[in-house]
Amino acid sequence: MYTKALSALLLVLGLVSLASAVPHVQRRSFLAPRVANDGFTGKNGPRALAKAYRKFRMPLPAGLVNTLEQQDRVLEKRRNKWTGGVALENVAELVNTKDQVVESDDVSNKSLLGDLLGGLLGGGGGNQQGNPATGNPAAGQPAAGQPAAGQPAAGQPAAGQPAGQPALLDNLLLDNLLLATPPATRAARDLADAIAKTREGNQTGETQAIPEQNDVEYLSQVKIGGQPVTLDFDTGSSDLWVFNSLLPASDQQGRTIYDPRQSQSFELMQGSEFQIKYGDGSGADGRVGSDVVEIGGAAVPRQAIELATNVSGQFLQDTNNDGLLGLAFGSINTVQPQKQKTFFENIMPSLAEPVFTADLRANAPGAYEFGRIDQSKFTGEMAWIPVDTRNGFWQFSSEKFAVGDGQAQPGGQGAQAIADTGTTLLLADPAIVEGYYSQIPQAQQAKDGIVIPCNAKLPDLHLDIGGVYMAKVKGEDLNFAPVDNAGTTCFGGLQATSVNGLGIYGDILFKSQFVAFNGGNNSLGMAPHV
């Protein structure tokens, strides 16, 4: 044991000498933010279609699976070319380590030495100064829950140490970290202000919806515990899920993260967990707490916040957004043992009107607004459609359609659809899809979806919304993205749904329509954009 400790001491002394010799430079000077986003594929038709299928647990056609696998192989080659064969997560770890080393000073070097020796000898951290009860680090120490340079992450055994009881230990450590934050004046004031707003009522709030990657998604700023994050507002799900400081460092790269330890209004919901899982096995899971959530001035004091401690698959591919804010109904929330209400459900009683609106624009900023309907953003009278909430969605019937100036045609008998701002494409009953593309010469079913000539002049599509309104979708928005380097063949923005005719009317519809969501009487309002 002492031989091992001596070897460790010599190794640490070498590291400390190296750290001392490195000149002090500005943190992040080695970090290129685009590195972590190298896997994001931008405006990619097959991937957008697969995302919608997976979200609603629809089986992926074999041809679509093959296309995604081919894209992944090409992407992996690009990554390896850039990194020289080193995995991206290892590159991120090296960047973090470099940042920590160049900022080291004598105090932190001593702390590093003590912590490493303490861990190697099995005695825990060497330097125990500071106040562990409050989570406040001593001078030169990393923040609570963050390992010092050379230390294993929480729940991982130190070098040479056997693995203990990681699940139980991790949960205990996490609880201590999240529960040990004392109240602060500013945070207490923020919480009190949010409570006062909900009691007074008459709240309104507006935030911009910024299109990313040519309208692949729309992102909006939200404050959680006073910390700004950028979220994708999703009327097709009911979880408020964020990237946060409890994730591994490699999963935080390139994002603005929420740190519950920096929020004095955060409260841990002990015993509560969440799990989001898609049909392909990707997903996220973790702990749950509550905090003040504010959107454009409208605030909820104790909104459930889901903190991922494990993320996989497609969630990691897009570093443009920091999480999701679900605006469907709480009946499909994934928190256990007790489902949690959405932001809209919690704030609705205190709004000036029990509504929120989605004003999404093609290649231009739009807005989400809570508590009022801005009459200047649409033309004509708004049509109101009752929705069926039994499945947890803003769901309505959609049994007919029309192409261009043509007459209405029957779609799928008894067909249903949902309004979903979290889906890029427009997925409709196969009868609607076939009827529309039959009017477009050279439209064809490829292995991964329907493709069209990029130079085709597409007619408008009119969709039945609840039997009381025909919503026009502009033809130009149905030409989604090229699928070849020559830019001659494009992926259609309208694709067929694969389960029981349930349509997923995503952002392509919203770019033509101003939509209001009324929680007071469970209805949708629609009218054409100005």
Output the 3-class SS for 388-428: ECCCCCCEEECCEEEECCCCCEECCCCCEEEECCCCCCEEE
Return the ∠ at Cα 444 (arms to 438 and 449), rounded to 5°. 115
Answer yes or no: are the C-beta atoms of 249 and 286 closer than 8 Å.
no
pTM for this entry: 0.72
User: How far is CA 420 from each of CA 29, 285, 378, 427, 450, rounded to the nearest angstrom?
Assistant: 40, 23, 19, 10, 21
Rounded to whole angstroms, the Cα distance separating 168 from 163 reads 12
Residue owning tokens 């190296």: 18
State the pLDDT confidence band at 5, using cuts at 50, 70 and 90.
very low
pLDDT of residue 196: 67
185-369 CATH pick, 2.130.10.10, 2.40.70.10, 2.60.40.10, 3.30.565.10 = 2.40.70.10
Contacts of 356 (CB under 8 A, 6+ apart): 327, 344, 368, 369, 370, 371, 516, 517
Q: Where in the chain are the domains?
A: 1-30+104-128+141-153, 185-369, 373-528
Q: Which of 161-165, 365-369, 429-433 has the lowest mean pLDDT?
A: 161-165
Q: Which of 13-17, 413-417, 447-451 has the lowest mean pLDDT?
A: 13-17
Q: Is the dihedral of CA 268, 269, 272, 274 positive or negative?
A: negative
Residue 166 has pLDDT above 80, yes or no: no
| Beta pairing partners, 399 | none
pLDDT of residue 211: 96
Backbone angles phi, psi at 359, to 5 degrees: -120, 85
State the pLDDT confidence band at 140, using cuts at 50, 70 and 90.
very low
Tokens standing for 432?
Answer: 């609607």
Mean pLDDT throughout 301-321? 88
Q: Which of 1-5, 30-34, 191-195 has the lowest mean pLDDT?
A: 30-34
Residue bearing the bigger pLDDT, 217 or 185: 217
State the pLDDT confidence band at 137, using cuts at 50, 70 and 90.
very low
What amino acid positions are annotated as catalytic residues?
234, 420
Helix (H) or strand (E) holding 136: strand 136-137
* Structure confidence by residue, pLDDT tens digits, 462-512: 999 999 999 999 999 999 999 998 999 999 999 999 767 789 999 999 999
Q: Residue 285 region, left (φ>0) first, then alpha (ψ -120 to 50), else beta?
A: beta
Helix (H) or strand (E) holding 15: helix 2-21
Tokens standing for 359?
Answer: 């004003």
Contacts of 411 (CB under 8 A, 6+ apart): 398, 399, 400, 401, 428, 429, 431, 432, 435, 464
Contacts of 50 (CB under 8 A, 6+ apart): 60, 64, 68
Kindly report the CATH number that applies to the domain delimited by 373-528. Answer: 2.40.70.10
pLDDT of residue 523: 99
State the pLDDT confidence band at 164, using cuts at 50, 70 and 90.
very low
Percent share of the chain, pLDDT over 70: 67
Question: Which one, of 265, 418, 430, 237, lies nearest residue 342 by Cα?
Answer: 237
Count of positions (residues) in the chain = 530
pLDDT of residue 221: 98
Neighbouring C-beta atoms of residue 189, cutoff 10 Å: 12
Buried/exposed code over 324-361 (b: 16+ C-beta within 10 A; e: otherwise): bbbbbbbebbbbeeebbbbbbbbbbebbebbbbbbbbb
Residue 169 has pLDDT above 50, yes or no: no
Q: Which of 156-160, 278-282, 306-310, 454-458 has the lowest mean pLDDT?
A: 156-160
User: 33-47, 86-100, 324-338: which has the highest mean pLDDT?
Assistant: 324-338
Return the SS3 of 31.
Answer: coil
Tokens standing for 23?
Answer: 């000149």
Mean pLDDT throughout 30-40? 29
Q: Which of 77-86, 224-233, 366-375, 449-458 has the lowest mean pLDDT?
A: 77-86
Residue bearing the bigger pLDDT, 296 or 448: 296
Residue 167 has pLDDT above 60, yes or no: no
Residue 387 has pLDDT above 80, yes or no: yes
* Structure confidence by residue, pLDDT tens digits, 437-470: 999 999 999 988 999 999 999 999 999 999 999 9
State the pLDDT confidence band at 58, using cuts at 50, 70 and 90.
confident
Residue 283 has pLDDT above 50, yes or no: yes
Rounded to whole angstroms, the Cα distance separating 508 from 517 reads 17
DSSP 8-state code for residue 186: H
Q: Which of 80-94, 291-305, 470-484, 487-501 has the lowest mean pLDDT?
A: 80-94
Residue bearing the bigger pLDDT, 57 or 464: 464
Q: Which of 5-9, 63-67, 200-204, 442-446 has the lowest mean pLDDT?
A: 5-9
